Amino acid sequence: MTVATPLGNPLFPNTMALLFPSVIRNVIYGVDAASGALSGELITDAFNVSTAYVGPYQDLGLLGIVLFSILLGITALYFWKMSGVRGVLMYSVIGQCLVLSIFFNHLFYLPVISQVGWVMLFFRRDRAVQAIEGTVK
């Protein structure tokens, strides 16, 4: 059995690689590091499913897993405490990411996590929402 030695990189290239578009990812981490981060250290490409905690482990070892877990907990708690429809929808996206984190890191996967941005955009507290709720005079 082979165990990867953590990189000790505080930029978290293996964890954060999917959060950025490829152009920005290549600038931040370099082309070689970015492509290596996306592939992980799998025995074979047929085994393409791994937990969300593999990336943080490859970056900083057990400390990376602890920091990543704290980030997940704080993020989930923040959206849990939000009130209204906006908070429920945003927490449902984060909750989905947390449940599916045993298969993949959806929290930093741009197509999935961008749903939070869309919910913030569509349910922002402006005059149109207030007019719908009847609070504008």
Q: Helices (H), strands (E): how many in the chain? A: 8, 0
Window from 10-24, 44-58, 93-107 with minimum mean pLDDT: 44-58
- Cβ atoms 110, 21 nearer than 8 A: yes
Percent of the chain at pLDDT > 70 equals: 74
- Cβ atoms 110, 18 nearer than 8 A: yes
Which residue, 17, 13, 19, 12, is CA-closest to 110?
19
Which residue, 26, 4, 15, is CA-closest to 52?
15
Question: Which CA distances in Å does 112 have to 2, 6, 107, 134?
Answer: 32, 27, 7, 33
Reported as a single tens digit per residue, the pLDDT across 56-73 is 888 888 998 999 999 889
Distance, CA of 19 to CA of 25 (rounded, Å): 8
3 state DSSP class of 61: coil
Give the pLDDT of residue 70. 94
Q: Is a pLDDT exceeding 60 seen at residue 136?
A: no
